[in-house]
Amino acid sequence: MKTQIEQNGIVTLTPEVANGLSNSEMWNDDLRPTTLSEHSWKGLNFATLWIGMCLCIPAYTMASGMISLGMNWWQAIGTIFLGNVIVLIPILLNSHAGTKFGIPYPVFARLWFGSKGAHIPALARAIVAAGWFGINTWIGTTAIDTLLSASFSAWANLTGHTAIVFAVFWALNVVVAYKGPQAIKVLGLIATPVVGISAIILLIWAFTHSGGWGPILSTPSKFNTAGEFFKVFFPALTGVIAFWATLALNIPDFCRYAKSQKSQMIAQSFSLPITMSIFSFIGIAVTSATVVIFGSALWDPVQLLAKFPPFVIFLGTLVIVIASLTINVGANIVAPARAIENLNPKRITFGLGALITGLFAILMQPWYIMENFGNYIFGWLGTYGALLGPIDGIAIADYWLVRRRQMALNELYDPNGRYSYLSGFNKNGVYALIIGVAIPVLGLFIPGLHFLWDNAWTFGLFISIAAYTFLMKGDKSVLQPGEYEQITSFKNSTSDSLTDSVENMNVDLY
């Protein structure tokens, strides 16, 4: 029996199967596979999504930490570029599954952890995202509050002014996220030109007012030997990778709307590493110029904008709001909202999941966390890198090495299907995760193996790939040779009249 249709590399369910699954406890309108008409995101949409998320305050100041540790400007930019190229690999590998089968991350996780076990990787990703949501909301809050205080003297004297800004900005983030990923698509189209043009204007201002690039760009590296450099380089590289390691997991949440594999791959390949590198360079160049103009290095763009006239401060506030909103909604709300929704698909919607995520972020009290920002980022969140790397490895190994990009889409929504494994848990996925986490953790206790912990995400990724591939040999959940062809109806032309009628039926059903 044909249960799914593959057309131009995109797989959708047949109308009969979709209708039969609509009452499943594992199905709702947000978690179901996308239809052909919903595969509407072009390369431009993915480019604007990444550019919008990359143009943020943490990216602007990322190189500052590396320079403070002794790197010169081109070593810092090179590290940033290389780290983003590396993390781009798992992003593209997991993007393929989302694009081909139209499934979000929590449903994708059912494939390798089971119908119930999927909550493990989904909630692990969600906790990190919720933490970042609170942090970025607080960063945006302090930026807006500082700029308002610089513009209006009465605002600084208003009781609870920071709390007011936080409440309003938090609500704005949740409202936009409540509209779902399609609202993020529109937000990216708005944010990209606004923030991008503003960054270019700031760069031109810095160059013209400083009479050049300033001293930071001419300062040499402080490292005398290659050994001294690499001691800083590898932890810094891991930090750059970790910056987007979370998106490497839940990128199917966005790529499930991609029009084609080619469009999303090309757009992401160029937009992520190039944007991060260019924006970090702008941060370095502008900061270098501030040494000449103001007599000290101003790495924080908020502190810099506070020195301009009120009208410029107002415009800067709008740009920072847009930048913070784009990265927060796109990178930090979608994943936890989907994970929460997956706990009970029939009762929890994506919008409710977004609201719960926002409330959880408040309970984490980011204003207290930010009092010890360094320990939080490099301690708690850095530790989560040791968990997310192995999960990434398991996802890649399952889709590319174990199943070779073939699955029975309908059985991801069947509580008694092949992907429910034993009592809803794939023990091989759990074992691979434990192995992938445990080995890098040894670096915390054995001095000679500390390099394992310094590169926990990378080692965890490759260890879990090897472990999971070995453990899944001969697993009954894997389609047998020829079975994919038996359950799949192949359509080659988008103009095929039968395909058009099927797509229309799909849209009506969904």
Give residue-wise pLDDT tens across range 244-257.
888 899 899 999 99
pLDDT in tens, 288-330: 888 889 988 888 787 788 888 878 888 888 888 888 888 888 7
Tokens found for residue 123: 């909630």
Give the pLDDT of residue 494: 47
pLDDT at 495 > cutoff 70: no
Report the alpha-carbon distance of residue 98 to residue 257 in Å, rounded.
Answer: 8
Cα R_g (the chain), whole angstroms: 24
pLDDT at 505 > cutoff 70: no
> Angle 499-398-121 (CA atoms, 0-180°, nearest 5)?
100
pLDDT in tens, 24-47: 999 998 899 999 999 999 999 999
Helical pair 181-210 and 261-294, crossing angle rounded to 10 deg: 30
% residues pLDDT > 70 (the chain): 93
pLDDT at 16 > cutoff 70: yes
HEC-encoded secondary structure of 257-322: CECCHHHHHHHHHHHHHHHHHHHHHHHHHHHHHHHHHHCCCCCCHHHHHCCCCHHHHHHHHHHHHH
Give the pLDDT of residue 376: 53
Q: In what order do the strands lie in the sheet with 10-13?
A: 10-13, 4-7, 488-491
Q: Which residue has the higher pLDDT, 380 or 230?
A: 230
Cβ(454)–Cβ(443) below 8 Å: yes
Identify the CATH number of the domain defined by range 4-509.
1.10.4160.10
pLDDT at 462 > cutoff 70: yes
| Among 119-133, 213-227, 421-435, the range of highest mean pLDDT | 421-435
DSSP 425-482: B-HHHHHHHHHHHHHHHHHHH-GGGHHHHHTHHHHHHHHHHHHHHHHTTT-TTSPPTT
Average pLDDT over the chain reads 87
pLDDT at 188 > cutoff 80: no
Q: Which residues contact 343 (CB under 8 A, 6 or more apart)?
A: 119
Cβ(133)–Cβ(333) below 8 Å: yes
Tokens found for residue 498: 């039968």
Tokens found for residue 360: 């959880």
Q: Which residue has the higher pLDDT, 166 or 240?
A: 166
Give the pLDDT of residue 382: 57
Give the pLDDT of residue 381: 54
Give the pLDDT of residue 214: 81
pLDDT at 496 > cutoff 60: no
State the burial class of residue 321 (Cβ atoms within 10 Å of its Cβ: 0-12, 13-18, 19+): middle
pLDDT band at 433 (very low <50, low <70, confident <90, very high): very high
Task: Determine the straight-line distance between the first and last CA of the chain, rounded to whole angstroms.
Answer: 21
Write phi, then psi, for 397 (nearest 5 degrees): -65, -45
pLDDT band at 187 (very low <50, low <70, confident <90, very high): confident
Tokens found for residue 229: 């450099």
pLDDT in tens, 89-124: 999 999 999 999 999 999 999 999 999 999 999 888
pLDDT at 503 > cutoff 80: no
Whole-angstrom CA distances from 318 to 5, 302, 459 are 46, 12, 41
Once rounded to an integer, what is the mean pLDDT over residues 278-288?
90
Report the alpha-carbon distance of residue 362 to residue 167 in Å, rounded.
Answer: 10
pLDDT band at 82 (very low <50, low <70, confident <90, very high): very high
Which of 174, 180, 183 shows the shortest CA–CA distance to 357? Answer: 174
pLDDT in tens, 329-386: 877 888 888 889 888 898 888 889 889 999 988 987 888 766 655 555 555 555 777 8
Helical pair 310-332 and 334-343, crossing angle rounded to 10 deg: 40
HEC-encoded secondary structure of 342-397: HHCCCCCCHHHHHHHHHHHHHHCCHHHHHHHHHHHHHHHHHHHHHHHHHHHHHHHH
